[in-house]
Chain A
Amino acid sequence: MALQSTTALATVTLQAASSTVTFSGIPNTYRDLILVSDVKNINGENYNTYVRINGDTGNNNPSVIMQGNSSGATSFTRNTDGAAQIGWTDNQDNSIIITQFLDYSATDKHKTILSRNNTRAVRVTAHAIRWTNTNPITSLQVFVEASGTLAAGSTFSLYGRIA
């Protein structure tokens, strides 16, 4: 019998503004993780939005990004933020960010991550990110740059997928 592949692990809906949202104690019984964020900040437009993996604050998340905005389509790399940038948020409308952590529980590879971001604040983006660590992912912390704040009403849903 075919196995249902995806399990909803947790959903957080912010009742009040918060600096971070953390999923910890993630079990290694799935193959992939999917984080769906419907999120706004209280700070302003075009705020970098991050996921910190396993509390790693080092610049261990090299990424390549492509984006489209009113200026055209561009691509750039980054690895200076001490976390994986998964998109941008603003303080007017919710951004949708879908981030997939593939083979997150494997110990034989770095963790390659794909993220897609749609935000009213001027851009649509896609990201490929690599957490340069062979440890399984056990925690994910979402936050906004420059000590920004996630707005009340933002939701974060974490799913595990088997393989």
Chain B
Amino acid sequence: MIKSALQSSLTNDVKYNSMSVGNLPSSEYLIQTTLVGATPAATVEFSDLGQYAGVYRHLQLVFVSRGNRSSADTSDIYVQFNGDTGANYNSHYLRGNGSAMESVAYTSSNNNGVFLSQANTGAIQTANSFAVAIIDILDPFETTKFKTVRALAGVTGVVNRIFLHSGAWRNTASLTSITLDDTAGNFTQYSRFSLYGVV
């Protein structure tokens, strides 16, 4: 049992003096988690998402990943929707590298997915260091709008990065799949990818 050093105030005669305060209603639900085992994975896919149209309003994708891109400390990731490899994505990021700020835009020349630059580690990133990202996909099942994506991501080690990403899939189709693709390597063991639905 968790013991908080300081107790919260009495609210409606409920005193939180224990971590076991009971579940509160949540609007977020776990859909699926994929863990990469001993065999590296070139891609990670969440499919059959159409069944969640009308159930969830938004999706959130969380990953903790490491890659094996040879002789590199970072690697890029595409977030692809419905298998679309066309020039139908826009991506932007604001990035801090520990000494300077960068701002970059990728336009329709970018195929394969929303482009998350340097969002994965490469093989020579510091041992045990994993890149992380929290990606919000807003209104993915709406057929009246393009799909907008935003992300907070980062990693530290021999290379340090902190990102704010935004992107769009210029298609009004309802989302049926999400594929993450390390552009120059594979996702390696202990990487984790979780998809949540938000009502």
Contacts and interface: CB of A to CB of B under 8 A. Distances in A.
Interface in A79-112: 100, 102-103, 106, 108-110, 112
A109 B128 contact: yes
A132 B158 CA distance: 13
Contacts of B164: 126
Given A63-B156, A128-B155, A3 B2 contact: no
Interface string B145-172: 0000000111111001110100000000
How would you classify the secondary structure of chain A's contact residues: helix, strand, loop or mixed?
A: strand
A20 B6 CA distance: 9
A109 B64 contact: yes
B154 A3 contact: no
Interface string A9-52: 11111110010111111110001100000000000000000000
Interface residues of A, number: 57
Interface in B73-116: 94-101
Interface in B27-75: 28-31, 33, 62, 64, 66
Contacts of A102: 62, 64, 132
A10 to B, nearest CB: 5
Interface string A123-163: 00011111010100000000000000000000100100111
Interface of A: 2-15, 18, 20-27, 31-32, 62-66, 73-77, 100, 102-103, 106, 108-110, 112, 114, 116, 126-130, 132, 134, 155, 158, 161-163
